[in-house]
Amino acid sequence: MTTPEARLDALGIELPAPMVPVANYVPYVITGNMLFVSGQVSATPNGRITGRLGEDMELSAGQHAARQCGINLIAQCKAAVGDLSRIKRVVKLGGFVNAAGDFTDIPQVINGCSDLMVEVFGDAGKHARSAVACPVLPLGVAVEVDGVFEIEG
């Protein structure tokens, strides 16, 4: 059985340092066997991925931005639990897309994050999800995703 870390290596993904909060909150909370990760924005170590879907950003770029949110979520998970094999299940993702009023492919954008969760965690990466559009997101980013994960005690 392949570990999530091995799958990340096979995908050529190096986890960045976890993002620090930009306001009065913590990056994650563990209660019982649940890990709640605060919203992770579409940012790379080289800067933020900004734009508005349906205005100055295409679907594929939005999916890339959502995938980056997923990478940042996984980086927070690793900071929280150490070994990613302790993640028993990706329970739920909440996706927010900076989108023009007539842009309706919101679920397809968030697939960039959802697909990554399945690539990294296998069947345990399949999750419940919400995906909504917003007229603006913090720091002007294109996408933000938060997550709930079940962990081994």
pLDDT tens for 95-153 read 999 999 999 999 999 999 999 999 999 999 999 999 999 999 999 999 999 999 999 97
* pLDDT score at 59: 98
Which distant-in-sequence residues (6+ apart) come within 8 Å of 65 by Cβ? Answer: 42, 49, 51, 57, 109, 112, 141, 142, 143
CA separation for the pair 103, 45 (Å, rounded)? 28
- 137-151 confidence digits (pLDDT tens): 999 999 999 999 999
- 42-72 confidence digits (pLDDT tens): 999 999 999 999 999 999 999 999 999 999 9
CA separation for the pair 54, 97 (Å, rounded)? 11
* pLDDT score at 92: 98
Domain annotation covers residue 57: yes
Domain annotation covers residue 20: no
* pLDDT score at 153: 77
Indicate if the pLDDT at residue 91 is higher than 70.
yes
Number of domains in the chain: 1
Domain annotation covers residue 85: yes
* pLDDT score at 1: 63
Domain annotation covers residue 31: yes
Domain annotation covers residue 18: no
Produce one character per residue of 69-78: b if its CB has 16 or more CB atoms within 10 Å, e if not: bbbbbbbbbb
Indicate if the pLDDT at residue 89 is higher than 90.
yes
Alpha-carbon distances, residue 77 vs 11, 16, 19 (angstroms):
18, 12, 11
Domain annotation covers residue 19: no
Q: In this structure, what CATH number is given to the domain that contains residue 143?
A: 3.30.1330.40
Domain annotation covers residue 113: yes
CA separation for the pair 127, 94 (Å, rounded)? 10
Q: Which domain holds residue 130?
A: 4-13+26-151
pTM for the model: 0.97
Helices (H), the chain: 4-10, 59-81, 106-121
Domain annotation covers residue 143: yes
**Cβ neighbours around 109 below 10 Å, total:** 29
50 exposure class (CB count in 10 Å sphere: 0-12, 13-18, 19+)? middle
